Amino acid sequence: MASLPDLLLADHHREELINDCTQLVERFVSKRSGLKGLAYKAALSTANSAKPNFLRNAMRKLIPEFAVALDPLYQEFSQSSAGDFSVYLQKHSERAIPAMLGVADARVARADHKSLQALYNKLRKGVESDMQTIFPDLSRVLTTYLG
């Protein structure tokens, strides 16, 4: 049985997946309003100033690790009678989101830029609720690349 990383990271669509995930996050940030929206926009702008194409490069590094973190759920899905991995992920978001956030937390902890770490740590409290908001769209994007 194929693993989620094998399917998602196939050479023929890997860059498309990275593009779609990057655009998804960019749209999410651009639509945010209020203080949190300003904070996200400022953080992304600061990150892109420090490292051009920051978000795209971050997606390039994170997506393989997200795929590994979500693989146990994919293996369970593959053994089930569920027909849509996106729906399955959403039903198991209480496991999927913390797994993905654990990957992001570990990646940020290893980052060389202390200023980026500080920005992430300031925003981290609200990231879980925002992940719940973006997760249905993200799960649909991921599912697109399984075939």
- Residue 19 predicted with pLDDT over 80: yes
CA–chain centroid gap for 80, Å, is 24
Per residue in 100-125, pLDDT tens? 999 999 998 888 777 778 878 888 88
pLDDT tens for 38-51 read: 988 988 898 888 88
Structurally, the chain folds into a number of domains equal to 1
Q: Output the 3-class SS for 29-54.
A: HHHCCHHHHHHHHHHHHHHHHHCCCH
From 31, 74, 26, select the one nearest 47 (Cα to Cα).
26
What would the pLDDT profile of 7-17 be if each residue is shown by its tens digit? 999 999 999 99
* Stretch (H or E) spanning 107: helix 93-109
Mean pLDDT of the chain: 92
CA angle, 20 then 115 then 95, to 5°:
50
Check: CB of residue 144 under 8 Å from CB of residue 16. Answer: no
Domain carrying residue 65: 4-144
Question: What is the model's pTM?
Answer: 0.90
Residue 147: is its pLDDT beyond 80?
no
